[in-house]
C-alpha cells in the first residue's frame, strides 16, 4: 500500500514538473518571473539565517534539519521502526517547539519592522546613531568610574538575548545616562552589587547575577567581577566591561577572553567595532562636540 502511494506521488510529481517546464518554454516571461521569485526567496533565506545564526533558534533549526535528513534516509533504507519513530517526532515535535520556544518566536515576530528588517529599506539610521551614542555614554561612564576607583560590571547584549540573566536583577528599562550608570555603582547603594545589563540601547536591569568562570587557567588574583565577566562572555556573545575597585583599571571580556588594563581610546574602538560596525556594517564617526557635550552633562550632575 505504501509503495503504491509512493509510485502515485512520484508519477504525479513528474507530470507536474514536465508541465511546468513546458509552460516556461512556451511563455518566456514566466522564466523572468521565476528568476525574480527565486532571487527574493534566496535573499530572504540568507537574511533569515544571518539574523538567527548566533541565537538559540539557529541551534533548533540545525536539530530539525538533522531529524528531517534522518527521517528521509530511514524511509529510503526501509528502517521501518526508526522511520515510524522519527515521523511521529516530526509530527508532534512542531507543537512542542511552539510551546517550548514561545518566547523566542514572539521576539522574532516582534522584530518584524524593527532594526533587523527596516535596515533593508534604509530607515534604521536613527538606530545606528543611537547605538553610537550609547557606546560613547558607556565609555564616558567607565572613564569616570575608573578615575574614582569605583568597582563596576557592565554587560552589553549583542545578538544572543540574555533576558534570563537580566531577570535575576532589578528591572529598569531606562535610557542610557552616564549620570545614572555612575550612581548605580556607588558603594553601599541598593543596586551597586552585581552587573548592569545594557540591551536595545537601554539600561535593561541592574544588580544582575552572572555565571562565574571556573577555568583553571584563569588567574587566581581575579576577583568575582572579572570571573563573572569572563563567564557571561563564554556562555553568550555579550561584551562585559569591568572596572576594578582596587586599581581603577578597566578590563573587557569578550568570547571568553579577558583583555586587561584597557585605555579609554582602546575601549571605545573595541566597543565600536564589536557593537556598531559588526552589527550595521559601517565605520563610525561621532562628532567631538557631541562627545564633549555628554561629558559636560556628567561633570555638571
DSSP string, 238-256: -EEEEE-TTT--EEEEETT
This prediction has a pTM of: 0.57
Considering the domain architecture, whether residues 236 and 133 belong to the same structural domain is answered as yes
Q: What pLDDT tens digit does each residue of the chain (301 aa) get?
A: 445 545 544 555 565 666 767 777 777 787 788 788 889 989 888 877 776 665 566 667 777 788 888 888 888 888 888 888 888 877 776 676 666 666 656 555 555 544 444 444 444 557 888 888 999 999 999 999 999 999 999 999 998 889 899 999 999 999 999 999 999 999 989 898 899 999 989 999 999 999 988 766 577 778 899 999 999 998 888 999 999 999 999 999 998 899 999 999 999 999 999 988 877 765 445 445 555 555 555 555 4
Considering the domain architecture, whether residues 73 and 61 belong to the same structural domain is answered as yes
SS (H, E, C) 118-146: HHHHCCCHHHHHHHHHHHHHHHHHHHHHH
Considering the domain architecture, whether residues 30 and 58 belong to the same structural domain is answered as yes
Q: Distance (Å, rounded) from C-alpha 200 to C-alpha 156?
A: 9
Q: Distance (Å, rounded) from C-alpha 70 to C-alpha 76?
A: 10
Considering the domain architecture, whether residues 106 and 192 belong to the same structural domain is answered as no
Q: Provide the β-strand partners of residue 259.
A: 252
Considering the domain architecture, whether residues 282 and 144 belong to the same structural domain is answered as yes
Considering the domain architecture, whether residues 191 and 270 belong to the same structural domain is answered as yes
How many structural domains is the chain composed of? 2
Considering the domain architecture, whether residues 75 and 212 belong to the same structural domain is answered as no
Instruction: Give the CA distances from residue 124 to residues 120, 130, 199, in Å, rounded to whole numbers and listed in that order.
Output: 9, 10, 17
Which of 101, 121, 141 represents a domain boundary (last residue)? 121
CATH number of the domain within which 147 lies: 3.40.1700.10
Please name which of 288, 268, 226, 236 lies closest in space to residue 138, comparing C-alpha atoms. 268
Q: Distance (Å, rounded) from C-alpha 257 to C-alpha 298?
A: 31
Range of the domain at 88: 2-121
- Cell numbers for 81, please give them: 521502526
Which of 95, 121, 147 represents a domain boundary (last residue)? 121
Amino acid at each position: 500500500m505504501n509503495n503504491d502511494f509512493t509510485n502515485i506521488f512520484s508519477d504525479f510529481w513528474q507530470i507536474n514538473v514536465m508541465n511546468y517546464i513546458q509552460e516556461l518554454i512556451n511563455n518566456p516571461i514566466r522564466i523572468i518571473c521565476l528568476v525574480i521569485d527565486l532571487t527574493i526567496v534566496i535573499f530572504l533565506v540568507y537574511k533569515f539565517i544571518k539574523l538567527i545564526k548566533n541565537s538559540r533558534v539557529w541551534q533548533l533549526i540545525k536539530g530539525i534539519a538533522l531529524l528531517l535528513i534522518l527521517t528521509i534516509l530511514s524511509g529510503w533504507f526501509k528502517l521501518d521502526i526508526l522511520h515510524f519513530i522519527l515521523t511521529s517526532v516530526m509530527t508532534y515535535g512542531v507543537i512542542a517547539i511552539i510551546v517550548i520556544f514561545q518566547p523566542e518566536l514572539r521576539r522574532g515576530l516582534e522584530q518584524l519592522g524593527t532594526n533587523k528588517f527596516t535596515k533593508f529599506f534604509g530607515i534604521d539610521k536613527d538606530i545606528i546613531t543611537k547605538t553610537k551614542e550609547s557606546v560613547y555614554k558607556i565609555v564616558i561612564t567607565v572613564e569616570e568610574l575608573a578615575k574614582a576607583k569605583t568597582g563596576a560590571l557592565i554587560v552589553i547584549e549583542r545578538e544572543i538575548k540574555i533576558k534570563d540573566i537580566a531577570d535575576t536583577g532589578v528591572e529598569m528599562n531606562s535610557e542610557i545616562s552616564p549620570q545614572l550608570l555612575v550612581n548605580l555603582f556607588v558603594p553601599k547603594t541598593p543596586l551597586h552589587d552585581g552587573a548592569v545589563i545594557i540591551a536595545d540601547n537601554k539600561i535593561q536591569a541592574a544588580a544582575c547575577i552572572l555565571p562565574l568562570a571556573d577555568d583553571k587557567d584563569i588567574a587566581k588574583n581575579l576577583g568575582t567581577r572579572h570571573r563573572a565577566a569572563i563567564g557571561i562572555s563564554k556562555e553568550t556573545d555579550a561584551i562585559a566591561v569591568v572596572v576594578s575597585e582596587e586599581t581603577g583599571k578597566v578590563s573587557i571580556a569578550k568570547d571568553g577572553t579577558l583583555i586587561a588594563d584597557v585605555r579609554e581610546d582602546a575601549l571605545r574602538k573595541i566597543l565600536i567595532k564589536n557593537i556598531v560596525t559588526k552589527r550595521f556594517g559601517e565605520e563610525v564617526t561621532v562628532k567631538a562636540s557631541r562627545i564633549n557635550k555628554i561629558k559636560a552633562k556628567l561633570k555638571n550632575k
